[in-house]
Chains A and B, each alone.
Chain A
Amino acid sequence: MAEATAPKPSSSVKLVLLGEAAVGKSSLVLRFVNNDFQENKEPTIGAAFLTQKCNLPTRTIKFEIWDTAGQERFASLAPMYYRNAQSALVVYDLTKPTSLIKAKHWVAELQRQASPGIVIALVGNKLDLTNESSGSGNALGEDGENDGAEGENDDGDARKVSTAEAKSYAEEEGLLFFETSAKNGTNVTEVFTAIANAIPETSLKGARGPGATQSSANRSEDQSRVNLTGPRDNASKEGCAC
């Protein structure tokens, strides 16, 4: 069949990570990109961004995942970090209530700085430190079970942020919501797949900054780009192939 042999359309999507230090932002990415986890990982150093593909039935999304590089520590993220981000992962530590407050701050910052159509996922990480073996993700029915859990639990459950609390906030703000364990891999690919699915078809191919009209803008954007790595490559591979 012709359809089966035709390559699926593929688009790059910039995804930015946000969240308090030590909530596991880099670990989530490491799990997603390399299916790996490092205990006691050093605070983020290393890469400007990592890439990972996500294959959907009708298209392929190539995530360009940008880490904060520690610039969140003193609120020193630059506008270029948010620029053209089509998706964001705002991470908190579900054993640390203050990290959810911080996450809400980042959501507000995204709403202020990022492109209007950005897809935001709120992620409570470190599910492995709770008693639940599998994450609640978007699953219904478990809400309320851990409501009001404060302090130490006899059975070693370190959860301090209830699923219901975070989830209702996410619903209010129109965010995707997941609880994950970067350590066990619980729900990690699910988060990225959900984001990939949530990105509207129309916003793929060349994101525009705030204030620019979407129509017909993309074509001229490719026309104005200058390739610094040589005139021979002027017909950009991604841009003009179609």
Chain B
Amino acid sequence: MESLSETPWDAVIEGTGLQHSLLALALSRSDKKILHVDANEYYGGAEAAFSLQDVSEWVEKVKADSNGTPFQSPTLWKADTEASSDSEKLSFSRAYTLTLSPQIIYTKSKLLAQLVSSKVYRQLEFQAVGNWWIYNGSLEEPLKRLPNGREDIFHDKSIDNRAKRGLMKFLKFVVDYENQTEVWEAHADSSLQSFLVFQFQLPQQLQTIISALTLSLDTPDKTVVRWALPRIARHLTSIGVFGPGFGAVVPKWGGGAEIAQVACRAGAVGGGVYVLGTGVKGSYAIEAAETEVPKVSVALSNDETVTTRHYISSKAQASSDAKVVSKVIAVISSPLPSIFASSIEGSPLAAVSVVVFPPESFTEEGLSPTHPVYIMVHSSETGECPAGQCVLYATTHQSQDSQAILTAAISRFLKAAEDNAKLLYKLYYEQEQLPGTSSLDLAFDDQMLDDVKAQWKTVLGYGDTEEHPAFMDFPDREGISPDDDDNDNDY
């Protein structure tokens, strides 16, 4: 087999985060010679998923040098309890797949359509994001399930009739907001909350519910109408697309990390060469005669130098005003059945539930969240933890107090779920929004697909307006039978 440096590569892709993995998938049927490297020994980059052992190694690595990564300040905590039952203590390292990307994917996202049209969806398993909860801090019902449709709203006695009419009016408007610019365009840069009061006379309680659907990490005054309306519309129109009772899914076994692995495998099946544990030290453009195509020389960390037409770098530039979030990944000793119980006939068993803490929804030791706090609760159905336990992924805007706020939110959530769940494991870290790395958005952002498509067109040499083959749309490969059994070989 040829060595890496002897091969004239069409593209060298650095990093196996979700975006670059999807690029590898997009290029997998292009007959281009692709070399895909990653300095890490694992797939997924900023969207990787880890065993407990992997987490410990990752923490040490980030502590030693967080340069070039979006991560900082990791702290790891483990309960040292003499537990009586298995679910009350941590299991073995590989029983866990803790993901740095617990993003939910709305059913209307183009990503799902492209995973289907590119045929790799068969290697993935998707699960429903079922129940959404709002924490309101009240004594009688601290966790309130979000209404899952008009009927729920009609039956909710805590909403008066005037507010119900306003809410119905808003829901009808928002799914058609693109055609009703006269209603909102004048308020495009106002806060969502003031818009809801001004246009729809919605009370505070309903403003909070609607804001929760945006998954905004900002304070309410910075959550503006032009940004929020498409997200609320996406939420509402996504429900029911793949079945009743849910509007978003997550891939089993670690979300984005699993998609990245499957996409890279598709790249390999298409002939791409994969080298983990090998990064890029530097690159320079090779001076080319006028008639020649420009090429890039890329120096790999294994001291090989390769030549390529295109080099897709993963180097991110830090910017001073980048958004930073604080995150906690926690393992708890309960399956939290009340959180996942379905209220919708015929809906799949939810594997993920979303809990929203609006700003100022609690005060603990003088601290109150100024920004919303979100907890994505993953059951053992996700394959991320053993049966009898759950993984909580908590996120809020980074501040001096954010670690304490997240910890308080988790303990309040466990108390509200009326569960004796114990905290077994807690990883705290901060993540910065760097251009070219994973988005901090709690829901998958389709913008990534546009970026992938632009890179794909560059590598294939299609201009902006030039006709090109369908993106991420591949026929079945020879030898693969469709889902039915008719084409199977037999002996």
Task: Determine which residue in B276, B489, B490 has the highest number of CB atoms from chain A within 10 A of its CB, and name it.
Answer: B489
- Residues of A contacting B112 with CB < 8 Å? 228
Nearest B residue to A215 via CB reads B387
Interface string of B250-289 (1 = CB under 8 A from A): 0001000010011011101111011111100000000000
Interface string of B83-101 (1 = CB under 8 A from A): 0000000011011110000
**A55:B383 contact, CB within 8 angstroms:** no
Which chain A residues have a beta carbon within 8 Å of chain B's beta carbons?
A: 21, 33-35, 43, 45-55, 62, 67, 69-71, 73-76, 78-81, 83, 112-113, 189, 209-213, 217, 220-221, 223-231, 234, 237
- Residues of A contacting B380 with CB < 8 Å? 212
Instruction: State in angstroms the CA–CA spacing of A55 and B266 once bound together.
Output: 30
Q: Which one of B67-75, B114-122, B178-186, B306-314 is at the interface?
A: B114-122
Known: A71-B268, A224-B127, A227-B242; 5 extra A-B contacts, CB below 8 A, are: A70-B273, A74-B278, A79-B97, A80-B258, A224-B348
A74 contact from B265, B270, B275, B387, Cβ within 8 A: B275
Within 8 A of A (CB), among B32-52: 43, 49
Whole-angstrom distance between the Cβ of B100 and the nearest chain A Cβ: 14
Whole-angstrom distance between the Cβ of A186 and the nearest chain B Cβ: 16
Whole-angstrom distance between the Cβ of B2 and the nearest chain A Cβ: 10
Nearest B residue to A232 via CB reads B243
**B269:A69 contact, CB within 8 angstroms:** yes
Instruction: State in angstroms the CA–CA spacing of A221 and B387 once bound together.
Output: 12
A53 contact from B92, B383, B483, B490, Cβ within 8 A: B490
Which chain B residues have a beta carbon within 8 Å of chain A's beta carbons?
A: 1, 43, 49, 91-92, 94-97, 112, 115-116, 119-123, 125-128, 240-243, 246, 249, 253, 258, 261-262, 264-266, 268-271, 273-278, 346, 348-351, 380-381, 383, 385-387, 477-481, 483-485, 488-491
Nearest A residue to B249 via CB reads A226
- Residues of B contacting A224 with CB < 8 Å? 127-128, 348-351, 381
**A80:B381 contact, CB within 8 angstroms:** no
- Residues of A contacting B265 with CB < 8 Å? 48, 69, 71, 78, 80-81
**B123:A74 contact, CB within 8 angstroms:** no
**A74:B491 contact, CB within 8 angstroms:** no
Instruction: State in angstroms the CA–CA spacing of A54 and B491 once bound together.
Output: 7
**A47:B269 contact, CB within 8 angstroms:** yes
Instruction: State in angstroms the CA–CA spacing of A234 and B383 once bound together.
Output: 21
**A33:B489 contact, CB within 8 angstroms:** yes
B126 contact from A54, A67, A226, Cβ within 8 A: A226
- Residues of A contacting B383 with CB < 8 Å? 209, 212
**B123:A48 contact, CB within 8 angstroms:** yes
**A50:B274 contact, CB within 8 angstroms:** no
**A48:B386 contact, CB within 8 angstroms:** no
- Residues of B contacting A74 with CB < 8 Å? 273-276, 278
Whole-angstrom distance between the Cβ of A35 and the nearest chain B Cβ: 8
A43-B1 CB under 8 A given contacts A80-B123, A81-B265: yes
**B490:A55 contact, CB within 8 angstroms:** yes
